Amino acid sequence: MVKALERCAGLNVPVTITSVMMRINYDKLPELARVAASFGANLRVNVYQPSKTDRFSVSYEQCWQGFTKLLEVSRLVATTEPVLAGVLGIEGFVGPG
Q: For residues 28 and 74, which has the higher predicted lDDT (pLDDT)? A: 28
The per-residue pLDDT for 80 is 73
Q: What is the 3-state secondary structure (H, E, C) of 3-57?
A: HHHHHHHHCCCCCEEEEEECCCCCCCHHHHHHHHHHCCCEEEEEECCCCCCCCCC
pLDDT exceeds 70 at position 23? yes
Query: pTM of the entire structure?
Result: 0.79
